[in-house]
Amino acid sequence: MAFTVFLLLLSFVSAAFLLLFRRTRYRRMGLPPGSLGLPLIGETLQLIGAYKTENPEPFIDERVARYGPVFMTHLFGEPTVFSADPETNRFVLQNEGKLFECSYPASICNLLGKHSLLLMKGSLHKLRFNLDSWSSRILLMEEAKKITFELTVKQLMSFDPGEWSESLRKEYLLVIEGFFSIPIPLFSNTYRKAIQARGKVAEALTVVVMKRRKEEEEGAERKKDMLAALLTAEDGFSDEEIVDFLVALLVAGYETTSTIMTLAVKFLTETPLALAQLKEEHEKIRTMKSDSESLEWSDYKSMPFTQCVVNETLRIANIIGGVFRRAMTDVEIKGYKIPKGWKVFSSFRAVHLDPNHFKDARTFNPWRWQSNSVTTSPSNVFTPFGGGPRLCPGYELARVAISVFLHRLVTGFSWVPAEQDKLVFFPTTRTQKRYPIIVKRRDSGLSTT
């Protein structure tokens, strides 16, 4: 018994000494203040635990209050400098390929593939055939994801919606669930299922790529889609590279634009004055066209309040909470040193929800974008699509797709929530119950493209 107590005491003293030594060493290195947490897992469990609640901000808020907006931590197996500072984030994004390189947790990289573009992609799509199939009670988030996924499959590979695309979408759901899990199959059932699903997705896409490559070699009529462009690229991509590209782009089509669509509706429903103003804007457009006429680019440009709603939804929801980068060399910033090889997480969420930049930052207020009430330059503090060389190339198309969806919804339907729902933030931002609503069809509206 005494020997056991001695071992426990020795372990405690050793751990305390190691922690003190590590803090002193890091202080001498000029690193930002902070804590690396437990060996191996660091503070990953605290981060995941916070994001599984309705209010994930305490993980950031508590550390910012204690250490300042730039602090060190240890996430997903690696020491990481966490930035809630807009100037630091801008510096990191602008120095992509010079001082920093894209570097995501192993769980994400393994699931998307080593050749992944890790980019979002939005598009301007035909929506009417999807919405016309709605019954009285729908899960809006599920329907929005079906719309964006099917249309992305069509754009990338010219597949019409059907059994194949729906089967692929279900596997994607499992892949996404594993994004922020511990990347060790033995310890994570979620990650194990995600890896298995990723294998099925890759297998299905490889069959498509090989078939299309054969058709290309045989001189068949070329389709006008992303896959055709990849197959005929001058540099020449391998099948594996093309599959990884498609995996990343399909994930974007499933998870990002569709979530913004859903949350915009949720926030508008909870803010009746904003919903009334949005309806007024779109009814004005509708009255100027016949039922058979499609929306034109000029119509999109005449939706100023819609853009305020989109901006505010992007700011509040933070579908992309931030980006991971890795220091390619020792970097000096804000009086601190980021050692070569260390990860940096530039947090968009922390900046977007900072009351120093946005008054009543955690309140949905689309009118703030009308009055320019942002405290500092929006380009510095509002970065929902990233920045620098890796700025999402589809950001404008994503905004158009969301705007067209909102137009079709408010001119074609009325709705009420079927039950209370709430936001959750892990592994990605979503609503807990997929936002069930009761929809009622209005008279026929515009054809939308």
Q: Is 308 annotated as a binding residue?
A: no
Q: Which two tokens stand for residue 68?
A: 């300042």
What residues contact 61, with CB distance under 8 A and at least 6 apart?
Answer: none
User: By the 8 A CB rule, do 64 and 350 touch?
Assistant: yes
Q: Which two tokens stand for residue 59?
A: 């993980």
* Residue among 303, 320, 310 nearest 263 (CA): 310
**Got the DSSP string for 292-355?**
TPBP-HHHHTT-HHHHHHHHHHHHHH-SS-EEEEEESS-EEETTEEE-TT-EEEEEHHHHHT-T
H-run or E-run covering 127: none
Amino acid letter, residue 353: L
Cα–Cα separations (whole angstroms), residue 393 to 197, 217, 243, 385, 441: 28, 30, 20, 9, 35
Q: How far apart are CA 150 and CA 161, in angstroms?
A: 6
Q: How far apart are CA 239 and CA 420, in angstroms?
A: 46
Place of tokens 């994607």: 172
SS3 430: strand
**Residues making up the binding site:** 392
**Residues making up the binding site for heme:** 392
